[in-house]
Amino acid sequence: MPEGINWGLPVAIYLFIGGMAAAAYYIGVIADIAGKGRYRDIARLGSYSVFIPICIGLIMLLLDLGKPLSFWHLIFQIGPLHNGLVFKAGSAMSLGVWLLGAFVIICGVLYPLMWLAEEKTCRNLPLVSGLAGKEKLRRNIGLLGMPFAVLVAAYTGVLLAATSVPVWADTPLLPALFVLSATSTGIAAIIILLGLTGSHDHGILARLEKGDSFIIKIELLVVVLTFFILLFLPDTSGLVRNVMFGSYAVFFWLGVIVVGLLLPLSIQRYSLRTYSANTNGLAVMSAILVLCGGFFLRYVILLAV
């Protein structure tokens, strides 16, 4: 990426939504395969969490570009007249767009169609009805999309590491941090859908909350380690101080640490201790806070560059 690139708010939204949708997908696939039918609602709603969010994310990306036709510049570079369009194999942004395209086709279209075929309201639809009952094919498609989903979840860190800004280019923990954050937001998205639709067995939200609580604890540790290490490096301390103590401090401490990590952990701990059908609202509340924190993490790191 060129030095001095200006990240916009739409890019932060795009990367947040992309990571959330990708994680909801691979969580659903894992639930479908490992659960052997016990967690069908998680798998089904996880697959439905991809297409619309990704479309919204793409709209955000186009808005940030300003000129929608410039989108093609992310995929190709214009070469000499006799060469035409050339794939930019060395561009992190170009690779990301190709990666996103594969993710949308496999994870956002093909896999959800396999689940739609199982819905009573869709069984008579042309083309879709023929996919009903093909669980082996559905699981194979799910596995096929897994690498793309994981890469999309990690893409924020990969993109930042490809910049010329030392604070991010020299931070190998960033991809791991964003995979953890995406996984947490993916679980949160599924919890919200389960809570709103009521389509879940008793206790399924508790299992998801336990998983999310575990992920959040690791994410909190990685956030602390990443920023603590960078704070004492001479080449990165200025930018990190701006995030932690400067103009972005409120977003970092309140948005990321308190709203996105500590509050959800506290709510989940209380909810799991007193779990009953009446605590579903707490699960949804903590999930909403997790989504807010996931967005603020990307907002702070992207716009502080």
Specify the higher pLDDT residue, 36 or 160: 36
Q: What is the rounded CA–CA span in Å between residue 47 and residue 253?
A: 33
Q: What is the rounded CA–CA span in Å between residue 185 and residue 70?
A: 30
Residue 84: predicted pLDDT: 43
Residue 3: predicted pLDDT: 43
With beta carbons less than 8 A apart as the criterion, state whether 192 and 49 touch: no
pLDDT in tens, 91-117: 555 666 677 778 888 988 889 888 888
Q: Per the domain annotation, does 186 fall within a domain?
A: yes
Least confident of 5-9, 245-249, 256-260, 289-293: 5-9
- pLDDT at residue 77 greater than cutoff 60: no
Residue 73: predicted pLDDT: 52
Specify the higher pLDDT residue, 6 or 175: 175
Q: Average pLDDT of the chain?
A: 79
The structure tokens 């007249």 sit at 81
Look up the CATH number of the domain holding residue 97.
1.20.1630.10
Residue 80: predicted pLDDT: 43
Helix (H), strand (E), coil (C) string for the chain: CCCCCCCCHHHHHHHHHHHHHHHHHHHHHHHHHHHCCCCHHHHHHHHHCCHHHHHHHHHHHHHHHCCHHHHHHHCEEECCCCCCEEECCCCHHHHHHHHHHHHHHHHHHHHHHHHHCCCHHHCCCCCHHHHCCCHHHHHHHHHHHHHHHHHHHHHHHHHHHCCCCHHHHCCCHHHHHHHHHHHHHHHHHHHHHHHHHCCCCCCHHHHHHHHHHHHHHHHHHHHHHHHHHHHCCCCCHHHHHHHHHCCCHHHHHHHHHHHHHHHHHHHHHHHHHCCCHHHHHHHHHHHHHHHHHHHHHHHHHHHCC
Least confident of 1-5, 58-62, 89-93, 228-232: 1-5
Q: Per the domain annotation, does 4 fall within a domain?
A: no
Q: Per the domain annotation, does 3 fall within a domain?
A: no
Predicted TM-score (pTM) of the model is 0.83
Q: Per the domain annotation, does 1 fall within a domain?
A: no
Residue 82: predicted pLDDT: 39
Q: Per the domain annotation, does 185 fall within a domain?
A: yes
Tally of domains in the chain: 1
Residue 72: predicted pLDDT: 47
Residue 266: predicted pLDDT: 94
- Print the domain residue range for 157: 9-303
Q: Per the domain annotation, does 246 fall within a domain?
A: yes
Q: What is the rounded CA–CA span in Å between residue 195 and residue 159?
A: 34
Q: Per the domain annotation, does 134 fall within a domain?
A: yes
Query: With bands split at pLDDT 50, 70 and 90, how would you rate the model's confidence at 206?
Result: confident
